[in-house]
Amino acid sequence: MPHLGPLPTWSFALGVATSLFSVLNPISAAAIFASATTGMESPALRRSAKKAALTAGAAMLAFALVGQFIFSIFGFTALAMRFVGGVLVLYRAISMLYGEDPRERSTEDEKAEASRKLPEDFAIIPFGIPLVAGPGTLSTVMGMIAGVTWLEYGVVLVAILLNTWIVYLFLRKAPAVFSRLGAIGTKVVNKLMGLILAAVAMQFLINGVKALYLEMREAPPAAVVTIK
């Protein structure tokens, strides 16, 4: 729990803000977001960017405020979230690699139906969670509030809000940059980002397996009961 203490230093505030920016990695997320939102109209694009950013921000705030209680109430761990995040991101990566492009449909009705399946439906999961605010981000947030003063705790919350706004700006502006690539260039980048996203998903799962192995190694041996 936070405690009373001296005023937080500028170095602490800057370190918290930059650490969150680094672990969120909005540049990478924006590139994937831009590739996945190809063909979306501007209003839907803004809604998707806002949903993804707000979801990530809400998740970070929730874990900063009641993270430990969430784990204890539902009985799961950060390791479980790592596996779930890997599966969800892998699903989205496969959709990007093998999904249908609405521009390749023949009729307007088919294009509209395909567009409804694009990432406005995926803005919350897996874009907001776990692509932007993944297990590493949420664990970092919980680590930042361990042993801090109440004022430092407030600085962490402000840093979360600031980075949420920065993430939204990156997601909102990235598609405009990628739109200059043209149809073929956008399709190539989309497939490439899908491949990168699949690698991210597999890294989630690999890290989960490693963490599970370490937990099993560090766990005390089970007591052997002998029957006389």
* pLDDT tens-digit map of 40-51: 788 888 889 999
Asked if 190 and 35 touch (Cβ cutoff 8 Å), the reply is: yes
pTM: 0.67
Residue 227 lies in a domain: no
Residue 63 lies in a domain: yes
Q: Residue 105 has what pLDDT?
A: 44
Selected residue with higher pLDDT from 194 and 147 = 194
Residue 225 lies in a domain: no
Residue 79 belongs to domain spanning? 10-218
140-177 pLDDT, tens digit per residue, is 787 787 667 888 888 899 999 999 999 999 899 887 77
Residue 214 lies in a domain: yes
Residue 1 lies in a domain: no
Residue 149 lies in a domain: yes
Give how many domains the chain has, as a whole number: 1
Given a cut of 50, whether residue 104 has pLDDT beyond it is: no
Given a cut of 90, whether residue 65 has pLDDT beyond it is: no
Residue 195 lies in a domain: yes
Sorting pLDDT into bands at 50, 70 and 90, what band is 28?
A: confident
Selected residue with higher pLDDT from 110 and 25 = 25
Residue 100 lies in a domain: yes
Burial 10-32 (b: 16+ CB within 10 A, else e): eebeeebbebbbebbbbebbbbb
Winning range, highest mean pLDDT, from 54-63, 90-99, 169-178, 197-206: 54-63
Q: Residue 142 has what pLDDT?
A: 78
Q: Is 138 exposed, middle or buried (0-12, 13-18, 19+ CB in 10 A)?
A: buried
